[in-house]
């Protein structure tokens, strides 16, 4: 039963990503069911793996809530690595290139992009290993840090997102202080939420940035639906019919949020223990 819950939770987390991605991009590049279901399939693959590696108790609302956020990030990282480093695509349709670029100049060499991908993935592995080591020391009582200071460390993904976004986007669309500090602030909040439900450093870190992406993309996509995303800024709307068709997917998106937020509320109402 827990395996089925893990798969379903992964499907819902991927469906959340698929829906906001379709909503913001389809007026510019059209709609394809295969692309829409892609994130769902990736999420359904990652969720059981994360569940097995972390031992999250999926018989509890807290386990479902934490798995949703963790699988969300795993799916996002995988597809962003694919789009940034591995996929070769005509970048002329974008205002901000999606492929690896330096100050707006796209890196065309596959060798260079693949090498950069190896360093990127290697860095992720090292961070994960470091978190596991620190968690072991914390459990053993050898890491007497203030929990709120630990949360700053565990929400580091927000700062990575802020610096990475500034490095990638600022040379093209300019720098905004609010946009820069938004991700770290939201990531710290979600790290605090996760830390109330678990003391697993890796899970807190995954949820911190996973829920941050979900929150910020919801804000950008649905609170400002008529504002084109940065990557399509100034580009024509080639599929105007999608401006109407995409509205039909809003109930699906609401369901995805309700699934995880209800689990989160129930988790906080039940007795629980965590880092803070």
**CA 148, CA 192: separation in Å to the nearest integer?**
8
pLDDT recorded at residue 1: 85
Domain boundaries, given as residue ranges, for the chain: 2-269
What is this structure's pTM? 0.90
* Rounded mean pLDDT, 242-262: 96
pLDDT, averaged across the chain: 88
Q: pLDDT for 68-89, tens place per residue?
A: 999 999 999 999 998 888 887 7
Backbone angle region of 101, left / alpha / beta, with phi > 0 → left and psi within -120 to 50 → alpha: beta
């Amino acid at each position: 039963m827990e395996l089925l819950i893990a798969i379903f939770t992964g499907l819902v987390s991927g469906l959340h990503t698929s829906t906001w991605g379709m909503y913001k991009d389809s007026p510019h590049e059209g709609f394809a069911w295969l692309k829409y279901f892609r994130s769902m399939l990736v999420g359904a693959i990652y969720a059981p793996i994360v569940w097995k590696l972390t031992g999250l108790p999926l018989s509890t609302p807290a386990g479902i809530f934490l798995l949703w956020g963790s699988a969300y990030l795993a799916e996002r990282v995988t597809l962003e690595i694919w789009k940034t480093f591995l996929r070769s695509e005509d970048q002329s349709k974008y205002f901000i290139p999606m492929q690896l670029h330096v100050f707006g100049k796209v890196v065309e060499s596959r060798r260079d992009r693949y090498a950069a991908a190896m360093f990127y993935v290697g860095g992720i592995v090292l961070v994960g290993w470091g978190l596991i080591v620190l968690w072991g020391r914390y459990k053993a009582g050898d890491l007497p840090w203030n929990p709120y200071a630990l949360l700053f460390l565990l929400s580091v993904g927000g700062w990575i997102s802020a610096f990475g976004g500034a490095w990638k986007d600022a040379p093209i669309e300019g720098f905004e202080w609010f946009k820069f500090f938004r991700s770290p602030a939201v990531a710290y909040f979600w790290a605090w939420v996760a830390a109330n439900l678990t003391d697993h450093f890796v899970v807190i870190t995954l949820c911190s940035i996973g829920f941050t992406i979900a929150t910020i993309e919801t804000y950008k996509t649905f609170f400002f639906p008529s504002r084109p995303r940065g990557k399509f800024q100034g580009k024509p709307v080639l599929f105007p019919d999608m401006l109407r068709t995409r509205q039909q997917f809003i109930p699906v998106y609401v369901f995805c949020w309700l699934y995880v937020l209800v689990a989160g509320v129930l988790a906080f109402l039940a007795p629980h223990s965590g880092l803070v």
